[in-house]
């Protein structure tokens, strides 16, 4: 850690100590101001997967509400860094706002469901990752049409990977023992599904979700176009959704 980073960490810790001691509004405002760059960073990472017409300032505004919620609910005794805790909730607030807008056309949603189901069926049947050719044949479309569809589906793969367990768990009672068992089973299935991804898709998932890189940064590392990286990401997410849909059916 550089001296500057150590100084900023010290400043943040002091703010939190004062805030929990006095609970003054002006201290909360200082914490909000301190972490606004985190909101912009998360919004920027979400924006790289969205069409250009989506206003990044709107993403930042919606992410701001996630930051406020994080400040209210953060428990420093749990030993989790605030940045880690807040980033998930900021991203979740942005994703929720995008879903609420419902700007993905109904026809694309229908194609997404069909694509996801066919991928799941093929990979269950073959016991391996299905090829584009096999998927296209099963859908009754050409390979070019399949690739065009995948490009359209990029906007429907926004859900953060860490949210899959909550989305795919059947029980709505997250504090119950059964819900905990279900969530753990879903997590285990997700890990196994990631391990079975084709090499490039697995690498994209790892770099994007676990290393926190943008699609553009990944494209430079893999020496592929950003559009190609986006396509690999979309294909990987639908494979994972297919794997999780089977366990979801067994939990219902």
Q: From CA 184, how far away is CA 186, in angstroms rounded?
A: 5
Tokens of 144: 């070019």
| pLDDT exceeds 50 at position 3 | yes
Whether this model's pTM surpasses 0.85:
no
Three state DSSP letters for the chain? CCHHHHHHHHHHHHHHHHHHHHCCHHHHHHHHHHHHHHHHHHHHHHHCCCCCCCCHHHHHHHHHHHHHHHHHHCCHHHCCCHHHHHHHHHHHHHHHHHHHHCCCCHHHHHHHHHHHHHHHHHHHHHCCCCCHHHHHHHHCCCHHHHHHHHHHHHHHCCCCHHHHHHHHCCCCCCCCHHHHHHHHHHHHHHHHHHHCCCHHHHHHHHHHHHCCCCHHHHHHHHCCCHHHHHHHHHHHHHHHHHHHHHHHHHHC
Domain ranges of the chain: 3-101, 106-251
Mean pLDDT highest for which of 51-65, 98-112, 198-212? Answer: 198-212
Instruction: State the average pLDDT for the chain.
Output: 79
Report CA 227 to chain centroid distance, whole Å.
18
Which of the following CATH numbers is that of domain 106-251: 1.10.1740, 1.10.3470, 1.20.140, 3.30.160? 1.20.140
74: left (phi over 0), alpha (psi -120 to 50) or beta: beta
| pLDDT exceeds 90 at position 242 | no
**CA 92, 96, 99, 103 torsion-angle sign:** negative
Compute how many other C-beta atoms are within 10 angstroms of the C-beta atom of residue 168.
Answer: 22
39 versus 19: the higher-pLDDT residue is 39
* 63-72, 127-136, 156-165, 226-235: the lowest-pLDDT one: 156-165
pLDDT digits (tens, 9 = 90+) for 114-147: 888 899 899 888 888 899 999 999 999 999 999 8
Q: From CA 111, how far away is CA 150, in angstroms rounded?
A: 10
Q: From CA 165, how far away is CA 161, in angstroms rounded?
A: 8
Amino acid 167: pLDDT: 47
pLDDT digits (tens, 9 = 90+) for 180-224: 556 667 677 778 888 889 999 999 988 887 777 777 888 999 999
| pLDDT exceeds 60 at position 46 | yes
Amino acid 4: pLDDT: 66
* 55-69, 143-157, 174-188: the lowest-pLDDT one: 174-188
> For tokens 């296209």, what's the residue?
136
Amino acid 65: pLDDT: 92
CATH architecture of 3-101: Orthogonal Bundle (1.10)
Residues across the chain: 252
Query: Alpha carbon of 71 to those of 95, 212, 234: distances in Å?
Result: 19, 22, 32
Tokens of 139: 């859908």
Phi, psi at 88, each rounded to 5°: -65, -40
CB 12 within 8 A of CB 81: no
């Amino acid at each position: 850690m550089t001296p500057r980073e150590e100084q900023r960490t010290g400043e943040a810790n002091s703010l939190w100590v004062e805030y929990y001691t006095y609970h003054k509004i002006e201290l909360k405002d200082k914490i909000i101001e301190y972490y606004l760059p985190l909101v912009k960073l998360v919004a920027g990472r979400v924006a790289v997967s969205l069409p250009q017409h989506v206003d990044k300032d709107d993403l930042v505004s919606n992410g701001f509400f996630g930051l406020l919620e994080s400040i209210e609910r953060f428990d420093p005794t749990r030993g989790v860094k605030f940045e880690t805790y807040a980033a998930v909730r900021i991203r979740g607030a942005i994703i929720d706002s995008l879903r609420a807008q419902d700007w993905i056309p109904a026809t694309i949603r229908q194609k997404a469901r069909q694509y996801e189901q066919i991928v799941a069926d093929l990979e269950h049947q073959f016991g391996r990752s299905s090829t584009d050719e096999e998927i296209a044949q099963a859908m009754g479309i050409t390979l070019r049409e399949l690739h065009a569809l995948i490009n359209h589906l990029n906007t429907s793969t926004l859900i953060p990977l860490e949210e899959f367990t909550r989305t795919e768990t059947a029980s709505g009672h997250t504090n119950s023992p059964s819900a905990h068992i279900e969530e753990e089973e879903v997590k285990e299935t997700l890990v196994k599904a990631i391990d079975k991804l084709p090499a490039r898709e697995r690498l994209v998932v790892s770099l994007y979700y676990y290393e926190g890189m943008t699609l553009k940064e990944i494209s430079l590392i893999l020496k592929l176009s950003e559009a190609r990286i986006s396509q690999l990401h979309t294909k990987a997410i639908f494979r994972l959704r297919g794997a999780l849909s089977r366990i979801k059916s067994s939990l219902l």
